[in-house]
Chain A
Amino acid sequence: MCDRCGERKASIHLTQIVDNTVTTAHLCEACAADQGVKTGEPGASLPLSGFLGAPGPGAAAVLTGGVDAGPCSFCGASLGDFRETGRLGCPHCYAAFEPQLRELLRRIHGASQHVGRLYLGAAAPATAEVPKLLAVWREQLRRAIDTENFELAAELRDRIRGLE
């Protein structure tokens, strides 16, 4: 039952930290909306949706600013679709909206460069990808050496040799 009106079924469970105390309020949709808790929109439960909607020079500005990228040529999804749902349409969207997503990824993760496990694929990468991949790995190798991550450095060195 809703904590506020005591009439309708509680369907929103809002956990908040106020003055060092964790409180959980159980609210029906109407009372939640009354208190300014947005729930009804698609993707509202995603942490990203709030992030995308942030006013000012936030992620929304990043995604709306600059040249309009046009829809992804593979799946037809647009940046507008992404803003609405918080989800991209297909892996090609990352290339279609590369500059916007790079900025967004930096804001979300504090970085846009993957430094984890490398994937060469069930098949070898396309020839056009090779120079780009080599450049990225060389940069990763340099960083791995700088941070004395010698295990990763050895793996990268082997991969670079393999691809060269």
Chain B
Amino acid sequence: MTVDLSLLPDGGLSWLDGSGPDSGIVLSTRIRLARNLQGRPFTARAAEADLASTRDQVVAAARATPQLSSTASLFRVDELELLDRQLLHERRLISRELAGLQRERPVCRGAALLSDGALGVMVNEEDHLRMQSLRSGFDLEHAYALLERFDAEMGTRLPFAFHPEFGYLTACPTNAGTGLRASVLIHLPGLVLTKEIAKVLQGLSQVGLTFRGLYGEGSEVVGNFFQLSNQTTLGKSEEDLVDHLGAMVRQVIDYELRARDVLGREAPAVMADKVWRAYGLLRYARSLSFEETMNLLSGVRLGHGLNLIHDVSVYTLNKLLIFTQPAHLAEREGRALSDPELPIARAAFVRRTLEADAGRRGPDGS
């Protein structure tokens, strides 16, 4: 492995610390803005010289902004090995597309990331640049405020492709206009257990929102983690898009809390058993698949929310989500792990982490 994430403040993990609003239910808030440069083909049709020039131009512009001047690290994604690219993707710093993890779309020449963890810019993704901000908990307001200032700074340094009618021009028309996609990573076990989730998701799709799994487009829903985001990007202002998502997510949080309340009142013994079983398996299992880990972590997180379990912090639960993924386990071991080794390494890591957390908190969880 050659990538060094320790260069980032907090290793790019500050969004995991559970310090943001409603962080028991909402893990993180992310907003991105898609932009392209005038007078050159979009990434998929660009020649190698164009890709290199885009990278240099965007990185130089971003380095000249007050937001990313001194704190940001540059990752030349196209020069990284597969495992390193996977690590950046698992850390949620870059998209699957930029990481080149899809068989049909290998890593693009000129692909790069400039990031300080909370704010970053992906270069030569589907669009020339995608600026993104990531915050702990449910915090659309601050995520957008930071990004808006950064976008304004970048706009004075780069000639963005803009059309008076269609707005910011993007490779795919589904992103045109504002180029804004705001998403909230939310944990909804209460709605899943009470079988209300489908109704809620259908309702969201009727008001212009969509949902995805943990890793964005094309990823499956595991561990009851959903990414809720705006479906359309044109015809509404950035503020309206963000406010609308915010209002809807607020409602979803209320539904989730109500569902948890019902579960806690009507089936307390079942819930306690479910939560402690999940904790017990995580604490003592010797082999864990990623999916099983996500589902068990979901159970423990729910127990934390229901005030049933205090042996583990939200921060630890969030960290386990990230560090139990294949590239993170490989980084920890200092080598690539084979398919049979992965579940064993994962279970060992989870066990050690939970033991340490319980030890710090004392036998009664206090």
Contact = CB atoms under 8 A, between A and B. Distances in A.
Interface residues of A, number: 50
A20 B237 CA distance: 33
A125 to B, nearest CB: 9
B171 A88 contact: yes
A90 B202 contact: no
B198 A132 contact: no
Contacts of A133: 164
A10 B264 CA distance: 36
A113 B162 contact: no
A55 interface: no
B305 interface: no
B19 to A, nearest CB: 29
A88 B173 contact: yes
Most buried by A among B163, B168, B173, B238: B173
A161 interface: no
Interface string B118-129: 000000001000
A90 to B, nearest CB: 4
Contact of A116 (B169, B180, B199): B180
B171 A109 contact: no
A136 B198 contact: no
A122 interface: yes
Contacts of A86: 172
Interface in A127-144: 129, 132-133, 136
B235 A90 contact: no
11 contacts: A20-B198, A24-B222, A48-B173, A85-B44, A86-B172, A89-B45, A102-B165, A104-B173, A105-B166, A109-B233, A136-B164
Interface of B: 36, 38-42, 44-45, 104, 126, 148, 151, 155-169, 171-174, 176-178, 180, 192, 195, 197-199, 201-202, 213, 217-222, 232-238, 241
7 shortest A-B CB distances, which residue pairs?
Answer: A111-B235, A114-B167, A91-B161, A13-B220, A109-B234, A20-B198, A116-B178
Given A22-B197, A86-B172, A112-B166, 15 more contacts: A17-B202, A47-B174, A90-B41, A91-B38, A91-B169, A94-B176, A108-B173, A109-B234, A111-B236, A112-B234, A114-B235, A116-B180, A117-B151, A122-B159, A132-B164
